[in-house]
Amino acid sequence: SNLLKKNKVALKILDRMRLDAQAQRLLSREINSMEALQHPNIIRLYEVVETPSRLYLVLEYAGGGDLHNRICSEGKLCDNTSKVTFAQVLSAIKYMHNLSIIHRDLKAENVLFTTTGAVKVADFGFSTRVSNRNLALDTFCGSPPLRGPGALQGRLRRCIIEGNYTLPPWVPGPCQRLIRGILKPAPAERYAIDQMLGCDWLLPVEFPWSLVPPEPTNALQRLLDSERSSSVEAELHEEVRSSLQELGFTSEHLQNNQLTDSRSPVTGVYRILLHRSQKRRGCDCPPVVRGMVRDPKREGLRAYRGLRHTSKFCVLS
C-alpha cells in the first residue's frame, strides 16, 4: 500500500541454525527489552518475522550513520553538537534505567543518527532487566575495548581505577567538570543521570518532546476508544485507526490482536503507522541549545548537581 511504501525500515537478519543456547537467550532479552522501550532516542522494534531458517527483526531505520563513523570521518564534534548528542544519549539511559533495563554495551557504534539529527541508541543484544536495583551487575560482557576496569588488566586498569587521565585543552570547562564527575574513582561519588542532565554544560539544551504524547500502555484500548484521551492523543489514534482501516484492518482484526505481540504483522503495521504519526508531531525533532534562560524547573536540576547519589548498576573493583 502507498501508506507504507515511504516508510523505510532496517532489518536485522539472524540465521536460526547458527544460534546456540546462549545466543538464543541474548536474542530473547534483546526482543523483550525493545518491546518495553518506546522513547524518541531509542531505536524501535516494529515486528519479528520468523521463517524455518531465519529470523528477521524489523527495526526503525535511522539513516544518518553512527557516532563512531561520524567522528572518524569528520573529526571531533563542535560544542553544541556534542551537547545535543550527549543529552539525547542521557535521556535514553534515564528512560531505560527507570524501567530497570540496562544496556551494557553503550559505545559510539551503537549511537545512531536520523537524517534530522536525532540520536537513537541501538543494539540491545547485551541488555538485561534487573529485579533489584540495589544489586550490582557482575556479568562479563560488552565490547572488550570499552569494558570497565574489572575486566581489564595492567596499566590501563590502574589508570582507570585511579582516575588518571588527561582531558584535551580544547574541551570547555563545564564539559571537563562533567567528565570528571562521571569518571570519579569512587562509585558513590559519581554523577547520577539527573546530575549529568542538570550540569552547567547541558543546562542550555531544551527538549521538544512535551508536544508528543507517550505511547499508551494499552495500545488496543486507546485505539478502539479514544473518548477518554486528551485531544492530542485522540487525534493521534484516530489518524492511526483511519490508516489501518484504509489498509483493510477492521475492528474485528484489532480485537483479535492486542498490538503487543511483535510476531504479529498487525502489530508491525500498527507500530509503523503510530511512529509515523508521532514523528509528524515532533517525536524525532532533536533538542536545541538555547541561551541560559532562568527556568525554575531547570534551575532545580542545577541544584540537584550538588547532591551525592549512589548507582549500584555497575561497581568498579
Active site residues: 105
Question: What are residue 48's DSSP bridge partners?
Answer: 57
Under 8 Å between Cβ of 107 and 93: no
Under 8 Å between Cβ of 6 and 280: no
Q: How far apart are CA 285 and CA 278, in angstroms?
A: 10
Under 8 Å between Cβ of 315 and 136: yes
Q: How far apart are CA 231 and CA 234, in angstroms?
A: 5
3-class secondary structure, 307: coil
Supply the DSSP symbol for 287. Answer: P
Listed in order, strand segments (DSSP E) in the chain are: 9-15, 45-50, 54-60, 63-66, 101-102, 111-114, 119-121, 128-129, 205-206, 288-289
Displacement of CA 194 from its chain's centroid (Å) = 16
Under 8 Å between Cβ of 247 and 268: no
3-class secondary structure, 67: helix
| Residues with Cβ within 8 Å of residue 12, at least 6 apart in sequence | 56, 57, 59
First to last CA, the chain: 56
Q: How many CA atoms within 13 Å lie on the side-chain side of 89?
A: 21
Q: How many CA atoms within 13 Å lie on the side-chain side of 277?
A: 23
Under 8 Å between Cβ of 67 and 111: yes
Q: How far apart are CA 212 and CA 210, in angstroms?
A: 5
